[in-house]
Amino acid sequence: MKQAHQHIDPPKWAERFFEWYCYPPLYDSIIGDLYERFDDNVEQYGQRKANRKFCFDVLRFMNRHTLKRKGQSKFYNNNMSILSNYFKVGFRNLMKNRSFTAINILGLSVSMAVCLVIILMINDQLSYDKWQANSEETYRFTHYDQNEVNIPMATVPMPLGEAMQDKFAGFEHMVTFRRGFGGDVIQNGKAIALQGYFTEPSFFELFSFELERGNPETALSTPNAIVLKKDIAEKLFKDQDPIGQTLEVGNKGVYQVTGVLKEFPGKTHIKFESLVSLSSLDKLEKNKVLGSSIGNWGNGSETWIYFKLRDGYSIETLKGYLTEAEKEHYEPESDEGKEFTLQKMSKITPGPLHGNQIGAGMPNFFVIGLGVLAILIIVCATFNYTNLSAARALTRTKEVGVRKVMGARKGQLTIQFIVESILVSILSLIVAIGLLQFLIPAFQSLQMSSLLEWELKPDLKAYLQFFGFSVLLGLITGIFPSLYLASFKPIQAMKNSVSNSKLSKLSLRKALIVTQFVISIVLIVSSVLVYKQIKFIVEKDYGFSKENILNVHMQGQDFAKFENELEKLPFVESVTATNNIPSMGTEYSDDVKLSDGDETFSMNYFDVDEDYISSLQLELIAGSDFIKGAPSVNKRAAILNETAVKQFGFESPLEAVGKQFYIENDSLALNVVGVVKDYNHMMLIMGIDPMMLRYDPSGFRIAQIKVAGFDIVKEISAIEAVWDEFDPNHEIILKTFQGEIDEFNAFFFDILYIVGLIAILSISIAGMGLLGISTYAIQIRMKEVSIRKVLGASVKGLIFLLSKSLSIMLMIAFIIGFSLAYMANNVWLNQFAYRTSFGFDVFLMTALAMVGIGIATIGWQAWRATRANPAATLRDD
Amino acid sequence: MNSKLGEFEEIVLMLVAAQHEQAYGLSVTKAIEKELKRSVTMSSVHTALYRLEEKGFVTSKIGDAEGNRRGRRKRVFIITSQGKIALKETREARNHIWDMIPKFIFDIA
């Protein structure tokens, strides 16, 4: 033998690789042959070539004879039958432990149902514009206003598009949208509101919208041409052919229908009912029907511009031209200044929050927030499963032992228990899909759902996602308990003496439970606070009367005539006019100053008539009301609120009366005739700004009618009758003042609803988790309890003993959770001008909830344990 | 079971018989290289041996660890009686074909 070459070894990795794949019974004989051959080759060709040949041989040896295989038999494996056995045993085991199974499945399915809704919402959001052929290549211009809040605006000045086309040759298509089109169409004696955008013929080239009727090349080219969405066309014309028909749209003129759009194959972030040729805009702006946007670099809030570049032109070059345009058209550091940016169409919905969106959309932080919430909920439920299965392990030790003796390997046992957890999660999925049928309508009845046009209908793809989700969940939840179960030593397992030290190591499980409770305490406290805050807002004294006041929108009709008609009704106490309803988030303001050269400040105003103060029961603290029947005097009068008095720097309300001030851009001076006590004219989260009441009949858009309120239904129908006679063309828009404010507050109720639901969910999941772990913690101490009982321990003492450690845990969770909740909730509450207090009541409520849960879980289990017959537990020893 | 004997298998089987009770993967490989002047990979010889075992023409047992094998034992292959029959049958078939060749063909050479 050549001893000299004994020390040269073939490449280690190849040896290791061979060992990894080789079927063990063949390993020795083959690797021996390989070594022999290697040594020969070293002698014959040298080490390098021998190495190469060795590696080559190792690779060549891979075939069906030499690969590792499962099972004992060479060519038969019984994986399928063992798998079905796993399912069978798993199912029997679930049936055996009904209470555990119920807790597991209930906890998982409830949280799963919420996750499914969230998956649907996220799917819905992600479906936006995906059907558009150019969704990845289409961009729009956006801008940031200088010296403004840092939210980007989706709109840009209209001349930007043309300016860019002059500078840059790379545009394939560019589409300009301009808002402002809309108004009532009188059709068959009824007014139908129509909304839309001005746009260009290139619309049909850039976007994938198609026409069902009409020619896409010409439909939007001539002035006063209109293209309708299918549903609105059907609404307007019923069975008639819409093409060629004319529509008179509000004060915007007469339009001829040149096309009807096909139903869109998917959702789009561009929300419109109709499209009007951009060439119609010129006349409207000249006649001052609409504000100026053509060629106006100062108006950055009316126009959207979308475009697609030709192949080979880069978006980066365009950015350079945008910076150039900023410098050309805006003075540096001026208030008008804008910074232009770009946004890809596929990134619009869901996308970052933009002002002036072309349609309502959910900003992406909301989508991300929902996702985080889903993960949080599911993590809680996962903890439960892990805890409960680990707890249940005690009852499975014999089975594990027997299986191991029969030759089951650790991997097989792991798979067995993972299969069981997948079984649980699939069962939960079935329950969750059942729950979904109730959850979807509940979510869809939310206000924001209709605003954002949520479509939460699960399709086949969604069901597949659900299934994948539940299998994955089963896998994740099952991994820890199954590794643990599979690690039992057979003899110990059979003797039922699995080391208690291992099982009683509760630290991980305790940490999980504490985390769960911290999360749910934060959520409980938050929902209590959200509830308190909303109640506070709803019940707060606004400073004006809403009682028995009905709001009727004038819809362009003359207020004075309507008032005359109404005053004939016996139950009408007063009728007043205004341009705006207070506390609803809409503000009209002008810049005012005391005299020339003074600093101006922004002052909100309401255009009202002389009955306003008395109808709304505002408190006049100085001066007088508008004078009845003296419009010319009233037109030069203003009534301030206290904040405005302070802002002007008057010493007292009395001093303010009789003073004059000016509205910027208006040389006319207004006389302060009176001062009202501050009331909440802005939405309640805002506070009170300087405000004035002016007398301006041209602003009278809403009639506020105070009625006796004896029989409100009858009174409303009487007013409706008056309206129908007064204006047969328009449907009456009548709402109660209170109803209108409630509707505005409904958004807050939506949030309350969601937060409350999630809080209930998380607390029930956490409660179930605690029930599981207390059952388990007490089970392993049964012998101890029995011995103590035999020795004469009292039931009270035993309950105390058993619940001590878990109660301490609950307390720790409470302290951490409450302090976290305190910090987190103060952040959002401080955003409100009027906020509710944290208060002892919140603390007490949460604490009571915790005590209740503690008694229902730990206490109950401890009580049960102490009631058990000691003879039964001790018999075996 | 497929008990046909392939061409390559036939050579391997013959060599197993020739190296009586001494045949293992590498020895057969070396013999093919030496006797037939033909290069062959070790893995194909091994594969042929396993296949012969499946067909019942050879059996195997664990042998010694002689040689530069780092102490790994050989798998020694021994021809079975079924293998012997198969070998004889192919031999007869070949002889029969050989006999069909007219004698004068070799005379020209």
A710-724 pLDDT, tens digit each: 888 888 888 888 888
- Mean pLDDT of all residues belonging to chain A: 82
Gap from A64 CA to chain B (nearest CA, Å): 9
The reply to whether residue B42 touches residue A32, judged by beta carbons under 8 angstroms, is: no
Question: Region A774-795: what's the mean pLDDT?
Answer: 82
Lowest-pLDDT choice from A265-274, A536-545, B45-54, B91-100: A536-545
Question: Region A852-863: what's the mean pLDDT?
Answer: 85
Gap from A405 CA to chain B (nearest CA, Å): 29
Residues of B in contact with A34 (CB under 8 A): 42
Q: How many residues does chain B have?
A: 109
Gap from A44 CA to chain B (nearest CA, Å): 14
Which residues make beta-bridge pairs with A606?
Answer: A693
| A261-304 per-position pLDDT tens digit | 988 888 888 888 899 999 988 888 888 778 788 888 878 888 99
Q: Determine the Cα–Cα distance for residues A108 and A424; give it in Å rounded to an integer.
A: 9
Look up residue B31 and give its two tokens. 């013999």
Residues of A in contact with B65 (CB under 8 A): 32
| A650-703 per-position pLDDT tens digit | 888 888 888 888 887 666 788 899 999 988 888 776 778 889 998 888 888 889
DSSP A293-322: -TT-TT--SSEEEEEEEPTT--HHHHHHHH
Gap from A410 CA to chain B (nearest CA, Å): 29
Residue B67 in contact with partner chain A when CB distance is under 8 A: yes
Nearest CA in chain B to A3: B68
The reply to whether residue A36 touches residue B42, judged by beta carbons under 8 angstroms, is: no
Look up residue A8 and give its two tokens. 């040269």
Q: Determine the Cα–Cα distance for residues A221 and A291; give it in Å rounded to an integer.
A: 22
Residue B46 in contact with partner chain A when CB distance is under 8 A: yes
Number of cross-chain residue pairs from A and B with Cβ atoms under 8 Å apart: 66
Residue B72 in contact with partner chain A when CB distance is under 8 A: yes
Lowest-pLDDT choice from A149-163, A508-522, B95-109: A508-522
Decide if A250 contacts A306 (C-beta within 8 A): no
The reply to whether residue A29 touches residue B73, judged by beta carbons under 8 angstroms, is: yes
- What Rg value do the Cα atoms of chain B yield, rounded? 16
**Considering only residues 60 to 79 of chain A, which have any Cβ-Cβ distance to chain B shorter than 8 Å?**
60-61, 63, 65-66
Helical residues (DSSP H) of A706-833, grouped into ranges: 712-726, 737-779, 782-790, 795-829
The pLDDT value given to residue A306: 93
> Mutation test of the interface with chain B: which of A27, A36, A52, A76, choosing the one with the most B Cβ atoms within 10 A?
A36
Confidence band, pLDDT 50/70/90 cuts, at residue A305: very high
Report how far apart the first and last C-alpha atoms of chain B are (Å, whole number): 44
Under 8 Å CB-to-CB from A756, ≥6 apart: which residues? A527, A530, A531
> Mutation test of the interface with chain A: which of B22, B27, B43, choosing the one with the most A Cβ atoms within 10 A?
B43
Under 8 Å CB-to-CB from A166, ≥6 apart: which residues? none
Residue A2 in contact with partner chain B when CB distance is under 8 A: yes
> Mutation test of the interface with chain A: which of B1, B9, B42, choosing the one with the most A Cβ atoms within 10 A?
B42
Q: How crowded is residue A186: how many other Cβ atoms within 10 Å of its Cβ?
A: 15
Look up residue A28 and give its two tokens. 């020795």
* pLDDT surpasses 90 at A853: no
- Mean pLDDT of all residues belonging to chain B: 89
The reply to whether residue A34 touches residue B42, judged by beta carbons under 8 angstroms, is: yes
Residue A36 in contact with partner chain B when CB distance is under 8 A: yes
Angle at A756 between CA A750 and CA A761, to 5 degrees: 130
Gap from B81 CA to chain A (nearest CA, Å): 24
The reply to whether residue A32 touches residue B72, judged by beta carbons under 8 angstroms, is: yes
Nearest CA in chain A to B42: A57
* pLDDT surpasses 50 at B64: yes
Share in percent of chain B as helix, strand, coil (round to 5): 60, 10, 30
* pLDDT surpasses 60 at A4: no
Which residues make beta-bridge pairs with A182?
Answer: A195
* pLDDT surpasses 70 at A149: no
Residues of B in contact with A57 (CB under 8 A): 41-43
Helix and strand tally (H, E) in chain B?
Answer: 5, 2
Confidence band, pLDDT 50/70/90 cuts, at residue A780: confident
Question: What are the domain boundaries of chain B?
Answer: 7-102
Residues of B in contact with A26 (CB under 8 A): 75
Gap from B61 CA to chain A (nearest CA, Å): 10
Domain B7-102: assigned CATH number: 1.10.10.10
Decide if B76 contacts B60 (C-beta within 8 A): yes
Gap from A5 CA to chain B (nearest CA, Å): 9
The pLDDT value given to residue A377: 78
The reply to whether residue A61 touches residue B43, judged by beta carbons under 8 angstroms, is: yes
Gap from A41 CA to chain B (nearest CA, Å): 12
Q: Determine the Cα–Cα distance for residues A62 and A68; give it in Å rounded to an integer.
A: 10
Peptide bond into A870 cis (omega under 30): no
The reply to whether residue B25 touches residue A63, judged by beta carbons under 8 angstroms, is: no
Decide if A734 contacts A552 (C-beta within 8 A): yes
Q: Determine the Cα–Cα distance for residues A726 and A553; give it in Å rounded to an integer.
A: 13
Question: Region B65-77: what's the mean pLDDT?
Answer: 87
The reply to whether residue A32 touches residue B74, judged by beta carbons under 8 angstroms, is: yes
Residue B84 in contact with partner chain A when CB distance is under 8 A: no
Question: Region B23-52: what's the mean pLDDT?
Answer: 91
Which amino acid makes up residue A365?
A: F
The reply to whether residue A32 touches residue B41, judged by beta carbons under 8 angstroms, is: no
The residue that leads in pLDDT, A829 or A624, is A624
Look up residue A523 and give its two tokens. 């959520």
Q: Determine the Cα–Cα distance for residues A64 and A75; give it in Å rounded to an integer.
A: 10
Residue A875 in contact with partner chain B when CB distance is under 8 A: no
**Considering only residues 12 to 41 of chain B, which have any Cβ-Cβ distance to chain A shorter than 8 Å?**
24-26, 29, 41
Element (H, E) at A603: strand A601-608
> Mutation test of the interface with chain A: which of B53, B55, B70, choosing the one with the most A Cβ atoms within 10 A?
B70
Residue B47: which of A6, A29, A65 has the nearest Cβ?
A: A65
The reply to whether residue A65 touches residue B46, judged by beta carbons under 8 angstroms, is: yes
Look up residue A52 and give its two tokens. 């190469």
DSSP classification of residue A859: I
Residue A63: which of B47, B70, B74 has the nearest Cβ?
A: B47
Nearest CA in chain B to A26: B75
Gap from A83 CA to chain B (nearest CA, Å): 29
Share in percent of chain A as helix, strand, coil (round to 5): 55, 15, 30
Confidence band, pLDDT 50/70/90 cuts, at residue A79: low
Residue A3 in contact with partner chain B when CB distance is under 8 A: no
**Pairing mode, if any, of strands A637-641 and A666-676?**
parallel
Residue A55 in contact with partner chain B when CB distance is under 8 A: no
> Mutation test of the interface with chain B: which of A7, A27, A33, choosing the one with the most B Cβ atoms within 10 A?
A33
Q: Determine the Cα–Cα distance for residues A714 and A726; give it in Å rounded to an integer.
A: 18
Residue B26: which of A1, A2, A36 has the nearest Cβ?
A: A36
Cα-Cα-Cα-Cα torsion A772, A775, A781, A787, nearest 10 degrees, comes to 180
* Backbone angles phi and psi of A183, in degrees to 5: 155, -175
The pLDDT value given to residue A877: 61
The residue that leads in pLDDT, A356 or A279, is A279
Decide if A105 contacts A91 (C-beta within 8 A): no
